[in-house]
Amino acid sequence: MKQLIDRLEQEQTLPREDWIRLLEDFTPEDTAYLCERARHVRQMHYQNRIFIRGLIEFTNYCKNDCFYCGIRRSNCNTHRYRLSKATILDCCRRGYELGFRTFVLQGGEDGHFTDAVLTDIVHAIRTEFPDCAITLSIGERSRDSYQQLFDAGANRFLLRHETFDSTHYASLHPAGLTAASRQKCLWNLKEIGYQVGSGFMVGSPGQTTENLADDLLFLKKLNPQMVGIGPFIPHHDTPFAKEQAGSLELTLFLLGAIRLMLPKVLLPATTALGTIAPDGREQGVLAGANVVMPNLSPKDVRGDYLLYDNKICTGDEAAESVANLKRSMQAIGYDVVVDRGDSLNM
Ligand code: SAH
């Protein structure tokens, strides 16, 4: 396996059958070796700098019904909320003081936020914080809508492809949502000029090693600025309540592999990773990640934006989360910096 890992580092890709072999047969020693190489590559491009993104979960209304997601339309047990423009701007102000230079607006696909409503909010953030990046994570919209939001001042867009394989995609989503249209959105976003983040859940129900190999090959082809992966974690009010969570080991291995495949990509150690293991985000950084996305949402809505069970930091103040994060990153030799943290993968 060591030869395959060396080859991945040198060639920055692997043929599909080698990806499958690597993902099926890796041992803890292989993970240790891969993570060491991943740290080396990350160090070359980004040193020991960790970028932070302030996550503002601005609505949990969603018209979609994804089988894995806790805020799916059919979940009647979720208390629904949406933040006003004034509250969103307040979150940004608090974030700016805490050193954030990127704000991520994430939410369900909420019809209230029409192009007019959302461009107005984006424009207001852009005007007040000209030195910050604005990232949207609001699901599938028309190309024209993406363009309007871009023109209003949004720079980045996170849209995980979730799984490349169309049959697997169909087993995670209701009829009407397709892998093809998700992927089309990503290409549109890139064409418009957004810095794009894609990615997938690790260990989602029915996921095979072949699916993962296809996910990696798709990411190689898309060549996004950022890749977000995290373990699938069941939510008790979804059709996948009884399914198993994705594993820490596989997630860490994939983080290291993605770092070698796309050396300059921004790679977050996600909240889901921090949820399945108490030191999950630190382990993610030690596997090659260089971004963390602390929560800037108002404390009173945190507990309502539950995509999965046991999500961390639902009770913390933003300041508290950031202070804890700085401390835990320092303890493993990394510095949380005040920086937009633009991707070097262009
Ligand atoms: N509505 C937006 C934002 C989705 S939430 C969109 O469509 O892009 C962000 C990500 O959380 C999703 O892309 C999905 O990969 C992840 N997610 C959702 N439910 C999850 C679960 N049960 N376990 C782990 N990750 C989950």
Residue with the smallest CA separation from ligand 1 atom 7 is 139
Q: How far is the CA of 247 from the centre of ligand 1 (A)?
A: 17
Distance CA 112, CA 62 (A): 10
* 340 neighbors 101 (Cβ within 8 angstroms): yes
Indicate which atom in ligand 1 lies nearest the CA of residue 234.
22
DSSP state of 196: E
pLDDT (0 to 100) of residue 316: 84
Residue type, 324: N
Residue with the smallest CA separation from ligand 1 atom 19 is 69
* 288 neighbors 312 (Cβ within 8 angstroms): no
Q: How far is the CA of 272 from the centre of ligand 1 (A)?
A: 10
pLDDT (0 to 100) of residue 149: 98
Q: What is the pLDDT of residues 227-239, one digit of tens each?
A: 999 999 999 999 9
pLDDT (0 to 100) of residue 264: 98
Provide CB contacts within 8 A for 298, sequence distance 6+. Answer: 83, 87, 90, 91
pLDDT (0 to 100) of residue 313: 82
Residue spans per domain, the chain: 47-202+218-243+264-337
Ligand 1 mutation target, pool 63, 67, 69, most atoms within 8 A of CB: 69
Indicate which atom in ligand 1 lies nearest the CA of residue 71.
19
Q: How far is CA 138 from the centre of its chain?
A: 12
pLDDT (0 to 100) of residue 19: 98
| Ligand 1 proximal residues by C-beta, below 6 Å | 68-69, 106, 108-109, 137-139, 159-160, 162, 201, 230, 232-233, 235, 272, 307-308
Indicate which atom in ligand 1 lies nearest the CA of residue 235.
22
Q: 114-120 — which CB contacts under 8 Å span 24+ positions?
A: 115/145, 115/148, 115/149, 118/149, 118/152, 119/148, 119/149, 119/151, 119/152, 120/85, 120/152
Q: In the chain, where does DSSP find H-type helix? A: 2-11, 16-25, 28-46, 85-97, 115-128, 143-151, 166-172, 179-192, 209-222, 248-261, 271-276, 280-286, 299-302, 318-331
Q: How far is the CA of 91 from the centre of ligand 1 (A)?
A: 22
pLDDT (0 to 100) of residue 92: 98
User: Which of 158, 161, 126, 129 lies closest to 55, judged by CA?
Assistant: 158
Q: How far is the CA of 37 from the centre of ligand 1 (A)?
A: 29
Q: How far is the CA of 69 from the centre of ligand 1 (A)?
A: 6
* Arch. (CATH architecture) of 47-202+218-243+264-337: Alpha-Beta Barrel (3.20)
Burial of 191 (0-12, 13-18, 19+ CB in 10 A): exposed
Residue with the smallest CA separation from ligand 1 atom 8 is 139
Indicate which atom in ligand 1 lies nearest the CA of residue 69.
19
Residues of the chain short of pLDDT 50, as ranges, are none
| Residue in this structure with the two tokens 């607006």, named with its chain if needed | 105
Q: Is the pTM of this model over 0.75?
A: yes
Q: Output the DSSP codes for 109-166.
A: --TTS-HHHHHHHHHHHHHH-TTSEEEEE-----HHHHHHHHHTT--EEE---B-S-H
Residue-level length of the chain = 346
| Rounded alpha-carbon distances, angstroms, from residue 282 to 53, 213, 222, 249, 269 | 16, 25, 27, 13, 8
Distance CA 123, CA 129 (A): 10
pLDDT (0 to 100) of residue 314: 83
Provide CB contacts within 8 A for 139, sequence distance 6+. Answer: 64, 108, 109, 159
Q: How far is the CA of 307 from the centre of ligand 1 (A)?
A: 7
Ligand 1 mutation target, pool 61, 64, 68, most atoms within 8 A of CB: 68
Phi and psi dihedrals of 216, rounded to 5? -65, -40
Ligand 1 mutation target, pool 201, 232, 312, most atoms within 8 A of CB: 201
Q: How many CA atoms lie within 13 A of 127 on its CB side?
A: 8
User: Which of 234, 274, 233, 222 lies closest to 252, judged by CA?
Assistant: 274
* 102 neighbors 92 (Cβ within 8 angstroms): no
